[in-house]
Amino acid sequence: MDQSATAEAGNHMKRHGNPWNQIIAFENLLLAARQAQRGKRFRDNVLRFNYNLEQELEKIQRELQSQTYQPGAYRTFRIREPKPRMTSAAPYRDRVVHHALCNIITPIFERTFIHDSHANRLGFGTHRALKRFTQFARSSRYILQCDIRKYFPNIDHEILKGLLRRKIKCPGTLWLIDTIIDGSNEQEPAIAYFPGDTLVTPIERRKGLPIGNLTSQCFANIYLSSFDHFVKEQLKVSRYVRYVDDFSLFSDDRTFLAEARLAIENYLATLRLKIHPIKSQLFATRLGANFVGFRVFPDHIRARSHNLKRARCRLRRLQQSYRQGLTSFEDVTQSVQSWSAHLKHGDTWHPRQHIFNSLTFESPR
Residue 313 has pLDDT above 90, yes or no: no
Q: Specify the pLDDT at position 3.
A: 45
| Residue 210, helix vs strand vs coil | coil
Give the residues across from 240 on adjacent strands. 249
DSSP state of 148: B
Q: Of all helices (H) and strands (E), which one includes residue 320?
A: helix 305-323
| Residue 38, helix vs strand vs coil | coil
Minimum mean pLDDT range among 44-58, 228-242, 293-307 = 293-307
**Residue among 149, 146, 145 at smallest CA distance from 274:** 149
Who's near 316: CB < 8 A, 6+ residues apart? Answer: none
What value does the CA radius of gyration of the chain take, rounded to a whole number of Å?
Answer: 22
pLDDT digits (tens, 9 = 90+) for 195-214: 999 999 998 999 999 998 99
Q: Specify the pLDDT at position 4.
A: 43
Give the residues across from 143 on adjacent strands. 250, 283
Mean pLDDT over the full length of the chain: 87
Q: What is the DSSP string of 198-211?
A: -TTHHHHS-B---T
Separation CA 247–CA 274 (nearest Å):
13
CB-count exposure of residue 13 (10 Å: 0-12, 13-18, 19+):
middle
Q: What percent of the chain has pLDDT over 70?
A: 83
Residue 14 has pLDDT above 60, yes or no: no
216 and 207 in contact (C-beta within 8 Å)?
Answer: no
CB atoms within 10 A of CB 315: 18
Chain centroid, CA 291 distance in Å: 15
Q: Of all helices (H) and strands (E), which one includes residue 158?
A: helix 157-165
> How many CA atoms within 13 Å lie on the side-chain side of 136?
24
> How many CA atoms within 13 Å lie on the side-chain side of 345?
23
Which pTM does this prediction carry? 0.81
pLDDT digits (tens, 9 = 90+) for 158-178: 999 999 999 999 999 999 999
355 and 315 in contact (C-beta within 8 Å)?
Answer: yes
Question: What residue type is 358 in one-letter code?
Answer: S
222 and 109 in contact (C-beta within 8 Å)?
Answer: yes
